[in-house]
Amino acid sequence: MKFFKSLATVVAILFLIITCNSKKENLIKEEQENPPNVLILLTDQWRAQATGYAGDPNVSTPYLDSLAALSVNFKNAVSGMPVCSPFRASLLTGQRPLTHGVFMNDVQLDTNAVTMAKIFAKQGYDTGYIGKWHLDGHGRLQNVAPGNRRQGFQYWKGNECTHNYNESVYYDNDDPNRKTWDGYDTFEQTDAAIVYIKERKSTKNPFLMVLSYGTPHAPYHTAPEEYRNRFDPTKIQLRENVPDSLKEQAKKDLAGYYAHIAALDDMIGKVMKNLKDSGQIDNTIVVFTADHGDLLGSHGAYKKQQPYEESARVPMLYYIPDKLKISAGEKDALMNSEDILPTLLGLCEIPIPDTVEGLNFRPYLEGRKNMGEATLLTCVQPFGQWNRIKHGGREYRALKTIRHTYVRDLNGPWLLFDNEKDPYQLNNLVGNDSYAVLQNDLENELSKRLEETGDEFLPGLDYVEKWGYPLDGTETVPYTH
């Protein structure tokens, strides 16, 4: 009798194992037969703090808040080199700036690079790009000619770079003639993306679409009047690290910045509604992020490049369909720019090329692996509005952990912040005897990571010479329109 009971138990266990394996195999088969679409909503200069769900008291972002509630929110995500072109090159290649070579604006990404669109296209995806590109280096208003300069994107309604949002130029697929979006380009680009997405429903192929907005990047005061009227500069609440000398100007500029954000929020809501109405939401991964943030007066500065929170930290939401069995919610891990591509490839069950240096966070999202406890921030060559000659810019390498930011420049330790106790980064702890052990530990970890990534941390001009980039009198790559 005991024998039969034992036999029954063994059979039951074997049945459960076979059933579980069968379900797993069916899930994998479903992913392979019906791979998810990928939609990347990329914004320009949107700092992580400036959303309703992140607690900004000045702006309401109801559509983004709704998306965040359904998404994985990497609340500590960073732009590894917080400036336009370097981020975009890392997004497309999954590589760090010293590898792909785009560590300044207005230079060209190697047309032989292994990029996102090329990888997805080989897997049968339709690939499309709408909006700001900033990876071609042939003039900001010039056509990014069809072919290898578009890095594998088949459908194209793009522009190299413009911030004239109400007279915004673009080029339409193979047409070499310059066109202009009809009105505020954030609205027009959204409508073009919706048309593209709807058209994909009639094809058998999944799609990869990058919708790359130019806003809320400056100029800050050019959103439609309806949105500008929502924000009274006198009622703007500033972050505590804006000095008195900039408070009046920062309030005015933030009012315009939030107007762009409010318009973007409406457009993100429009995109998500159309995905739902067209029945594609259940098979589409949506990523919302930005190429970098904006200081907007914090630490007495504007724009980006610097290692402070307002410049380096970016929003990072992943809406992941239920079929992938990944729970929504806030995550502490520090996702970096080069991690986006391998994570998307992992979620789509696409092999990750050896050229990719970033991390695939799918095991982390599935609870199988701890990762993302620290990452690197880099400024290879300061330029533009933070150039060394006029504005005191400096090369740096930084270690960003969940709690601390430690920064070294060419002369040695520069900044150390406890971001938990000091979220506005007002108290630099470098040289503080009470934090000597912590500073030493972070310095050792930074040195280890630089060695692992092959970063010798040379002066910026050494890398400029290596890559052959021309510089003007401010050590900036000059650009033409």
**Assigned domain for 13 exists:** no
Q: What is the CATH number of the domain that holds 209?
A: 3.40.720.10
84 belongs to the catalytic site: yes
Q: Is residue 321 located within the same domain as residue 448?
A: no
20 belongs to the catalytic site: no
> Omega before 413 cis (within 30°)?
no
Give pLDDT, residue 9: 54
The set of residues, in sequence order, having a beta carbon less than 8 Å from that of 158 and lying 6+ positions away, is 129, 130, 131, 132, 133, 144, 150, 170, 171, 212
Q: Is residue 405 located within the same domain as residue 341?
A: no
DSSP 389-404: HHH----EEEEEESSE
Q: Tens digits of per-residue pLDDT, 1-46? A: 554 455 555 545 555 555 545 444 544 454 457 999 999 999 999 9
- Structural domain including 271 reads 35-369
**Assigned domain for 332 exists:** yes
Strand 72-74 and strand 126-132: pairing?
unpaired
Q: Is residue 456 located within the same domain as residue 346?
A: no
Q: Decide: 413 and 439 in contact? Cβ < 8 Å.
A: yes
Q: Tens digits of per-residue pLDDT, 210-249? A: 999 999 999 999 999 999 999 999 999 999 999 999 999 9
**Assigned domain for 1 exists:** no
Q: Which two tokens stand for residue 76?
A: 């500590």
pTM of the model: 0.93
Q: What is the CATH number of the domain that holds 408?
A: 3.30.1120.10
Q: Tens digits of per-residue pLDDT, 438-463? A: 999 999 999 999 999 999 999 999 99
**Active-site choice (100, 134, 260, 404):** 134
Residue for token pair 């690290």: 241
Q: Is residue 275 located within the same domain as residue 417?
A: no
Residue for token pair 């413009």: 162
Q: Which of 394, 480, 377, 381 is nearest to 104 (CA)?
A: 381
H/E stretch holding 108 reads none
**Assigned domain for 26 exists:** no
Q: Is residue 151 located within the same domain as residue 66?
A: yes
Q: How many domains does the chain have?
A: 2
Query: Euclidean distance between the first and final Cα of the chain, in Å?
Result: 88
For residues 239 and 159, give the distance between their C-alpha atoms in angstroms, rounded to a whole number. 34
**Assigned domain for 244 exists:** yes
Q: What is the mean pLDDT of the chain?
A: 94
DSSP-derived 3-state class of residue 2: helix
Strand 37-44 and strand 72-74: pairing?
unpaired
Residue for token pair 């007495």: 300
Identity of residue 481: H
- Quick one: pLDDT band at residue 204, thresholds 50, 70, 90? confident
Number of Cβ within a 10 Å radius of residue 323: 13
DSSP 353-409: PTT--S---HHHHTTS----SEEEEEESS--GGG-HHHH----EEEEEESSEEEEEE
